[in-house]
Each structure stands twice: as structure tokens, then as C-alpha cells.
């Protein structure tokens, strides 16, 4: 079995050799920035079922409860979170002319903060809140949380511009992601358990269309040993950072 340094080298070589690479990222890439994932150790599911709390029906039934359990914490976590070595590593791969696009399931804005310029936010983002009555949008830091749920000047309830479970993926983001998956030569999947549909099928679509699929995750997922041609197991920051350095040397 190949050791981890061999796999890091192999991934750097595959990235250098590939004509078109995209990354698919999930909550795991932001764990080292202090944002807990939904599943896995330390995940929110240890306290409640995110599928239930982050479902649009729950929000519509009781917005104050969802703001209290989930959104208030996200508001505070995301206000201070900074990109880690994995976000920065993907931005370095773009700068090196290797990676074209990051498709992310995350709503934290950390890829853009790290310098990636083409980010598809598959599940929207938390940077904006929208009034459910008049559609006015507010940047998240300006939203006053002394009343829960927070309210628009018109009295309507504010909701994040994120896709809740049970809601449709924005059409343009959906179409573009599936096109990129079908056309890329290499898909690098980082920090996702790949169980939330439809983003979970992107690696499979890439593989079916002939792309090399490589996974980086702290633990094996159902992509490991099946959809992924090979997997690097460990912390995203260490691994993506090491791969980016090798690619930069290869380009230099
Ligand atoms: P997930 O919570 O289902 O899975 C996270 C994965 O990351 C797990 O497989 C875990 O093993 C792995 N992981 C954890 N720490 C890691 C590390 N340091 N390095 C590498 N891998 C690590 O996340 P998901 O598949 O993205 O799906 C959950 C949904 O919840 C997504 O839609 C996402 O938008 C949303 N979400 C977003 C954020 C965020 O914006 N940061 C946070 C939590 C959940
Ligand atoms: Zn309003």
C-alpha cells in the first residue's frame, strides 16, 4: 500500500498532468477554521439532527427555533472564521494555473476569502439574509440578533440566502456544476461525506465521463475505494497545503 507521501506526490503529478481540474468541497474543509461539520466527530449531529433542524419545513414552522439552534451559532462562527491551509491551498492551485473552479457545498465564504476567484456556491451563502415578505437583503453582520428571529424593517422574518434541506439548488449553479463534472479531467473532492444530494453525485458524474477522481478526507467515506480512484486520508489543511507546494515546485 502506498504511503501518504507517495500519494501526495502522486496527486501533485496528476494535477500537473491534467488539462482541467475542479474541486468539490464540503464542511470538512472548514473544520480547521473552527466551523464544525454536520456529520462525523464533533459534528452538529451529536447535539441535534441537522437534517431536521436545517430543513425548510422546520424553518417555516418555527423560524425562532431554527435561528436559536443553528443560525445564531453560524452567525457568530462565520463572523470570525478565517480560511485555513486547505482553502489557501486550493487558491494557490488556481494561481498556479491548475485548478479552474471550486464547487462548494459550504456557505461560509472562506474560498473567496482565501483568494479563489471562481467559486460555485451550490448551497448559497450565509453572507446575506433576505426578508421573506419584501425580499430586501441585508449583509449578515448588519443583522441585529437581539430579536430572534431577526426582522426586516418591514416586520418580515429574515432567512439566510442558503439552501435549506428540502429546497432546490439554484438552477445556474446546478447546471454549471454538472457541466464541469462531465467535462473535467480531474475532480478533487475535499472534506465531504458525499451523502447530501444532488452534490453527492458530482464525483460519480465526473468518473463516468472519464475524469480521475481523488478524495481528501479525515476518514473513509462511501467514495473511498469506489468512485474515488484513490484517497488521501488526513487533515485537509496539511494535505492540500503539501500538494500545492509540490505543484508550485513542479511549475517553478
Ligand atoms: P458533512 O458534515 O456531511 O461531512 C464532512 C466531512 O468532512 C466528513 O466526511 C468528515 O470526515 C470530513 N472532515 C472533517 N474534518 C476534516 C478535516 N480536518 N480534513 C478533511 N476532512 C474532514 O459535510 P458535507 O458533506 O459538506 O454536507 C453537509 C451539508 O451541510 C453541506 O450541504 C454543507 O453546505 C452544510 N454545512 C456547511 C458548513 C460550512 O459552510 N462550513 C458547515 C456545516 C455544514
Ligand atoms: Zn421586508
User: pTM for this one?
Assistant: 0.95
| pLDDT tens string 179-202 | 999 999 999 999 999 988 899 999
Domain boundary residue, one of 162, 189, 221: 162
Q: Cα(162) to centroid of ligand 2, in Å?
A: 17
219 and 231, same domain (yes or no): yes
Domain boundary residue, one of 162, 187, 222: 162
28 and 138, same domain (yes or no): no
132 and 198, same domain (yes or no): no
Ligand 1 pocket check: which of 127, 191, 237, 240 to mutate, most ligand atoms within 8 Å of Cβ? 191
213 and 88, same domain (yes or no): yes
pLDDT band with cut points at 50, 70 and 90 for residue 70: confident
185 and 222, same domain (yes or no): yes
17: which residues sit within 8 A by CB, 6+ positions away? none
151 and 235, same domain (yes or no): no
Find where cell 467514495 sits. Answer: 223
Domain that holds residue 180: 1-35+83-123+169-252
Instruction: Give the mean pLDDT of 11-37.
Output: 95
Judged against a pLDDT cut of 70, whether residue 228 lies above it is answered with yes
Pull the grid cell for residue 21. Answer: 481540474
Strand partners for 158? 131
Say how many CA atoms lie within 13 Å of 126 toward its Cβ.
Answer: 21
Tell me the CA distances in angstroms from 157 to 129, 149, 152, 168, one per residue in order.
10, 6, 6, 20
Tell me which residues have their CB within 5 A of the ion that is ligand 2.
131, 133-134, 136, 152, 154, 156
Domain boundary residue, one of 113, 140, 162: 162
138 and 113, same domain (yes or no): no
131 and 117, same domain (yes or no): no
The C-alpha atoms of residue 56 and residue 39 are separated, in whole angstroms, by 19
Q: Which atom of ligand 1 is nearest to the CA of 43?
A: 2
- The total number of structural domains that make up the chain: 2
173 and 151, same domain (yes or no): no
Find where cell 496528476 sits. Answer: 14
Give the ligand at the shortest distance from the Cα of 136: 2
Pull the grid cell for residue 5. Answer: 507521501
Residue 179, SS3?
helix
Tell me which of 55, 87, 123, 172 is the catalytic residue.
123
7 and 45, same domain (yes or no): no
236 and 196, same domain (yes or no): yes
| pLDDT tens string 76-119 | 889 899 999 999 999 999 999 999 999 999 999 999 999 999 99
Look up 111 and say whether it is catalytic: no
Residue pair 7/232 in contact (Cβ under 8 Å)? The answer is: yes
Q: Which pLDDT score is estimated for 41?
A: 65
Residue 19, SS3?
coil
Query: Can you give the CATH number for the domain in which 68 is found?
Result: 3.30.1600.10
| pLDDT tens string 25-61 | 999 999 999 998 876 666 666 777 888 889 999 999 9
Q: Cα(133) to centroid of ligand 2, in Å?
A: 5
Q: Which pLDDT score is estimated for 73?
A: 86
| pLDDT tens string 112-158 | 999 999 999 999 999 999 999 999 999 998 999 999 999 999 999 99
pLDDT band with cut points at 50, 70 and 90 for residue 23: very high
Amino acid at each position: 500500500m502506498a504511503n501518504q507521501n507517495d500519494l501526495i506526490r502522486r496527486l501533485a503529478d496528476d494535477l500537473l498532468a491534467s488539462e482541467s481540474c475542479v474541486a468539490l468541497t464540503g464542511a470538512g474543509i472548514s473544520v480547521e477554521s473552527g466551523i464544525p461539520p454536520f456529520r462525523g466527530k464533533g459534528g452538529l449531529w451529536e447535539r441535534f439532527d441537522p437534517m431536521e433542524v436545517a430543513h425548510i419545513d422546520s424553518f417555516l414552522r418555527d423560524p425562532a427555533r431554527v435561528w436559536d439552534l443553528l443560525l445564531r451559532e453560524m452567525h457568530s462562527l462565520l463572523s470570525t472564521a478565517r480560511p485555513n491551509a486547505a482553502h489557501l491551498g486550493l487558491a494557490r492551485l488556481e494561481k498556479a494555473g491548475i485548478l479552474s473552479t471550486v464547487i462548494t457545498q459550504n456557505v461560509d465564504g472562506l474560498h473567496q476569502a482565501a483568494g479563489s476567484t471562481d467559486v460555485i456556491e451550490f448551497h448559497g451563502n450565509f453572507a446575506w439574509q433576505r426578508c421573506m415578505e419584501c425580499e430586501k437583503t441585508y449583509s449578515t453582520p448588519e443583522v441585529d440578533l437581539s430579536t430572534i428571529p431577526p426582522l426586516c424593517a418591514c416586520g418580515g422574518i429574515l432567512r439566510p440566502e442558503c439552501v435549506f434541506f428540502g429546497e432546490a439548488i439554484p438552477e445556474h449553479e446546478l447546471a454549471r456544476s454538472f457541466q464541469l463534472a462531465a467535462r473535467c479531467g480531474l475532480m478533487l473532492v475535499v472534506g465531504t461525506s458525499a451523502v447530501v444530494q444532488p452534490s453527492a453525485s458530482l464525483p460519480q458524474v465526473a468518473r463516468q465521463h472519464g475524469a480521475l477522481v481523488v478524495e481528501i478526507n479525515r476518514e473513509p467515506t462511501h467514495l473511498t475505494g469506489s468512485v474515488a480512484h484513490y484517497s488521501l486520508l488526513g487533515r485537509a489543511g496539511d494535505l492540500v497545503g503539501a500538494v500545492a507546494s509540490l505543484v508550485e515546485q513542479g511549475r517553478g
